Amino acid sequence: MLAVLSPGQGSQKPGFLTPWLDLTGAEARLRWWSALAGVDLVHLGTTAGAEEIQDTARTQPLLVAAALLAAEHLPMHDVTLTAGHSVGELGAAALAGVLPAETAITLAGVRGREMAAACAIEPTGMAAVLGGDTDEVLAALDRHGLHAANRNGAGQIVAAGSTTGIDALVAEPPTKARVVRLKVAGAFHTPYMAPAEAALAGVAAGITPARPARILLSNLDGTAVHHGRELVQRLVRQVTSPVRWDLCMRTLADLGVTGVVELPPAGTLAGLIKRELADSLPEIVTLKTPDDLPAARDLIARHGSAARPAPTARFRVVTAPAPGVFQPAQGLTEGQALKIGQVIGHVVTGRGPVEVTAHDGGPLTEWLAHHDAPVAPGQPLARIGGHS
């Protein structure tokens, strides 16, 4: 199985898009996307300095544009799975067919501007906590009033919150842990970003998403998302919710992913995978420049397969969001009317129960999986209504 991954903020470097502009049509595409994002993507990707591309309002659309620009030169029809880290989820959503590229770029522009504005409300920051016992690290964060904004696996948790809390954590690191203050504008993926989430929700409400054409993992809990509207809701919630990249990597292992292509600016996610999945390490290509395209195409040819239609393409069905054991909601029987968003059961995984919700309203026509049945991601669990 082949996965294509889209990196998030912090992976960018000055001039990383320069070689890509030599490809036919690349500069024109970036100028069109610049008009949608409200920033000069050509300048940011080529001649802008390190400080300028650390600006959240500029960086977020730049990263999404870079991933989508490179993916246009890959045989994406043979890719089975996509995922992205933080803002990289917008790129992954476009590559999975949920959003047009133009919509992903526009949302990245809104997201970046609104998160930058939220950062200016009060002094906040972030710091990487490297090593230490996970429970002890989380306890230390709680003691200082901080949030675990990113859980990246391989002994890396990113703390976020008030600058006073970050200062205290740096001064008093958890046992056997090292704390590195990050050069970011504020506390991303925490309640401090609530104004940005509200603003993004207002824009996202006007989007008409499509069903994913391939497996699409969510940062929220590492599970596969099979409905476009749910994915958009998760993208909005992710502004204030932790990035669980550790769970995404576990799902890559659970699904038996054997090949990974990381889109530009590549390297960060590949490094995390190498440390976290050392016992079942997939073959990885870090796509940094057009010179890496032949290797990426070869990897896709050897590990990929033609994208299969989502299992819900013919019927309105509810599918499993993760591998595990299915437990229907108590007392819910065939024939009962369901509401959109109603919890119809749980998939019990090694990481705990994951809710299964109805994505459409209508009668519960048929259970397609029974109590304590082992299920795989995307497996149909129940059919709603009688439409085909």
Q: If you average pLDDT over every residue of the chain, what do you get?
A: 91
Predicted confidence band of residue 313 (pLDDT cuts 50, 70, 90): very low
| Residue 7, helix vs strand vs coil | coil
| Residue 59, helix vs strand vs coil | helix
Strand partners, 263: none
Q: What is the pLDDT of residue 361?
A: 80
Q: Distance between CA atoms of 72 and 18, rounded to whole angstroms? A: 16
- The candidate with the shortest Cα–Cα distance to 367, out of 341, 336, 340, is 336
Q: What is the pLDDT of residue 384?
A: 85
Q: What is the pLDDT of residue 387?
A: 41
Q: What is the pLDDT of residue 221?
A: 87
pTM, full prediction:
0.80
- The candidate with the shortest Cα–Cα distance to 83, out of 263, 293, 208, is 263
Q: What is the pLDDT of residue 285?
A: 97
Residue 189 a catalytic site member: yes
Amino acid letter, residue 215: I
Superfamily name and number for 121-181:
Malonyl-CoA ACP transacylase, ACP-binding (3.30.70.250)
pLDDT digits (tens, 9 = 90+) for 123-173: 999 999 999 999 999 999 999 999 999 999 878 999 999 999 999 999 999
CATH classification for the domain delimited by 2-118+191-303, as one of 2.40.160.20, 3.40.366.10, 1.10.490.10, 2.40.50.140: 3.40.366.10
pLDDT digits (tens, 9 = 90+) for 258-311: 999 999 999 999 999 999 998 889 999 999 999 999 999 999 999 987 434 443
Please state, in angstroms and as integers, the Cα–Cα distance from residue 8 to each residue in 11, 23, 37, 93, 123, following that order: 6, 23, 17, 13, 22
The residue from 11, 34, 86, 218 that is catalytic is: 86
Q: What is the pLDDT of residue 310?
A: 41
* Mean pLDDT to the nearest integer, 315-323: 74
Is 205's pLDDT higher than 60?
Answer: yes
pLDDT digits (tens, 9 = 90+) for 66-90: 999 999 999 999 999 999 999 999 9
Label the pairing between strands 337-338 and 324-328.
unpaired
Predicted confidence band of residue 242 (pLDDT cuts 50, 70, 90): very high
Q: What is the pLDDT of residue 20?
A: 97
Which H or E element spans position 28? helix 26-37
The answer to whether domain 317-384 has CATH 3.90.25.10 is no
CA count, 13 A, side-chain hemisphere, 36 = 21
Q: Distance between CA atoms of 298 and 322, rounded to whole angstroms? A: 29
Q: What is the pLDDT of residue 255?
A: 87
Please state, in angstroms and as integers, the Cα–Cα distance from residue 137 to each residue in 143, 149, 162, 186, 232, following that order: 10, 13, 17, 20, 31
CA count, 13 A, side-chain hemisphere, 69 = 34
The residue from 144, 147, 189, 346 that is catalytic is: 189
Predicted confidence band of residue 386 (pLDDT cuts 50, 70, 90): low
Residue 162 a catalytic site member: no
| 271, 12 contact by CB (below 8 A) | no
| 299, 266 contact by CB (below 8 A) | no
- The candidate with the shortest Cα–Cα distance to 72, out of 297, 309, 265, is 297
Report domain extents, the chain. Answer: 2-118+191-303, 121-181, 317-384
